[in-house]
Amino acid sequence: MSDSSNVIITGCSSGFGLIFAKTLAGAGHRVFATMRDVAGKNAAVAAELTAWAEAEGRALSVLELDVTDDASVAAAIGAALEQAGAIDVLVNNAGVAGLGLLEGYTPDMLRRLFEVNVFGAHRVCRAVLPSMRARGRGLLAFVSSSMGRVVVPCVGAYAATKFALECLAETYAYELAPIGVEVSILEPGTHPTAIGANMAAWSPDDPERLAQDYGRGSELPGRIGGNIVAVLSAETPPDSQRVGDALLQVVSAPEGRRPRRVVIDELGGQGVEAINQAATAVQGLTITSLGLGDILGDDAAAD
């Protein structure tokens, strides 16, 4: 890739997505910042992004994209390809999170979480990959979470989607390596973003189950929630811009040398790093034992 890449990012109405859009565009990349409802509830942020790009002289366009809708995804990817000619980087960022006892989630609510966080990412990958395969190059970046590697009570529904996303991304990495398309996974810890403020809409929705006797377990949602609030309200909370800078480093890295995983977690990062190192070794042994060691490449050792 050249020094400037064509980048499409999902979920840019707030949080990491908004940071990613400005960080990459500010570094000289051409950015397609996508979000739902650009003419409705997200009209203000869409206008702000557009005005910022014009004032800064940056190549940033806002596109409508709902990761849960096939037609919306196809239209956005088609528009980006028509305008830029190629998509060099896809950043799968759109996501939602909930907090609460797992039994309190109806199957429908759990399915909705997976629809956004997992099926949505897969849907956008499928729309982008034909053009990347045709060119024999590209980068799929997935915004996972430290919760995609460790298990914590009361965030199990969200974490399950991130565990699934990790598997999806790594499978793509193996399958796309022979044609030159790379995969990188970002694993942020807790940071002050809108995903936390929106948790109530994606939390357990079965009050009858939540009313059952869980003993001391009934205290867990409050304790976990309190810990999250304490981190975010600290005098010096984790800096979300560090996640944006990490993505910029991945995008700017030489082709073939991009890391498989990048941990950005000031609190529990060492544990996640240890899991990643152990998993990389096990994956390498497993893939090699199947006679597929040639698809590992050097990036398997770059975690």
For position 301, what pLDDT does the model report? 40
Q: Give whole-number Cα distances, 92 to 12, 20, 62, 244, in Å.
A: 10, 11, 16, 13
For position 179, what pLDDT does the model report? 96
Contact 98, 14 (CB under 8 A): no
DSSP 221: H
Give the active site residues: 158
The 3-state secondary structure of 65-117, one letter per residue: CCCCCHHHHHHHHHHHHHHHCCCCEEEECCCCCCCCCHHHCCHHHHHHHHHHH
Q: What residues contact 242, with CB distance under 8 A and at least 6 apart? A: 264
The DSSP bridge partners found for residue 261 are: 185
CA dist., res. 144 & res. 93, Å (int) = 8
CA dist., res. 209 & res. 204, Å (int) = 9
Residue 261: name the closest of 196, 173, 158, 194 by CA. Answer: 173
CA dist., res. 252 & res. 249, Å (int) = 5
For position 126, what pLDDT does the model report? 99
Which H or E run contains 38? none
For position 275, what pLDDT does the model report? 96
For position 281, what pLDDT does the model report? 97
Question: Token digits for 176?
Answer: 């796309």
Contact 149, 275 (CB under 8 A): yes
Contact 59, 33 (CB under 8 A): no
CATH top-level class of 6-301: alpha beta
Q: What is the pLDDT along the chain (303 residues), one digit of tens a residue?
A: 458 999 999 999 999 999 999 999 999 999 999 999 999 999 999 999 999 999 999 999 999 999 999 999 999 999 999 999 999 999 999 999 999 999 999 999 999 999 999 999 999 999 999 999 999 999 999 999 999 999 999 999 999 999 999 999 999 999 999 999 999 999 998 766 665 667 778 889 998 998 888 898 888 988 988 877 777 777 777 789 999 999 999 999 999 999 999 999 877 778 999 999 999 999 999 999 999 999 987 644 444
Q: Provide the 3-class DSSP secondary structure of residue 35.
A: strand
CA dist., res. 20 & res. 31, Å (int) = 9
